[in-house]
Structure 1
Amino acid sequence: MTDTTEGSGMEQGQEPGIVVSYLPIGSVVKLKDGERPVVVAGCMAFDGVTCRLWDYMGYPWPEGRQDATKDYFFDSDMVAEVLQIGFLDRAAIKHQRALTAASGLYQEAKTRQGK
């Protein structure tokens, strides 16, 4: 989990003391061994091709989704650096709470898939 109020100041739209389980949609990350940044487009993502669960799905930054076969799926431990935190307003905070509530079932499902 990440405390969004750590550091030198709060980002626009954040509430004091909000803890997020996942990077907000729109966050831009550099992946370990990645050639380019990736923008987060979803959390607790299912890859229909491999039938595998991933912590995140995203698209290359800055152009975004160009081709349905170019989805990037990755787990939290594959993130080398967070370049930009996505927008976090009240709706996103509500979504974070839903992700937190579902995280137990999600982790069980990931364990069953062998990850």
Structure 2
Amino acid sequence: MDLLPLGSIVVLRDGYKKLIIIGRKILVGRGEELSDYLGCLYPEGYLGEEYCYVFNNSDIDQIIFRGFEDLEEKAFIKAINDIE
């Protein structure tokens, strides 16, 4: 599964609260682990880093809304896929 665009809204497995994706390919900790996404609560938005969550495609149970995609987004995804 390709990365979802910024602004996508998802529910994680065993979760009930929606998250909005605000970042992708996030280094966690001391840069030792790479996660697919950084999300914050929806509809609240960013309330501070203690309310931000890192997760991967495999953690997503439901895609509620898919964010905006254009040529620039598609080029970004292609560049990431070429690196991996």
Give the structure, 1 or 2, with the largest relative contact order (CA under 8 Å, sep 6 or more): 2
Partner deviation per Cα, 1:35-77 (whole Å, 9 max, x = no partner) = 3010011111122467421011110110011012222100001
TM-score by length of 1: 0.63
Larger Rg: 1
TM-score by length of 2: 0.82
Does residue 98 (structure 1) correspond to residue 79 (structure 2)? The answer is no
5+ residue gaps, structure 1, are: 2-20, 108-115
SS of the aligned residue for 2:50 comes to helix
Alignment coverage as a number of residue pairs: 84
Report the residue type matching 1:27 in the other structure. S
5+ residue gaps, structure 2, are: none
Q: Which has the higher strand share?
A: 2
Q: Moved runs in structure 1, 4+ residues, more than 6 A?
A: none
SS of the aligned residue for 1:57 comes to strand
SS of the aligned residue for 2:10 comes to strand
Tell me which residue corresponds to 2:33.
52
Report the residue type matching 1:62 in the other structure. P
Q: Percent identity?
A: 27
Report the residue type matching 1:43 in the other structure. R
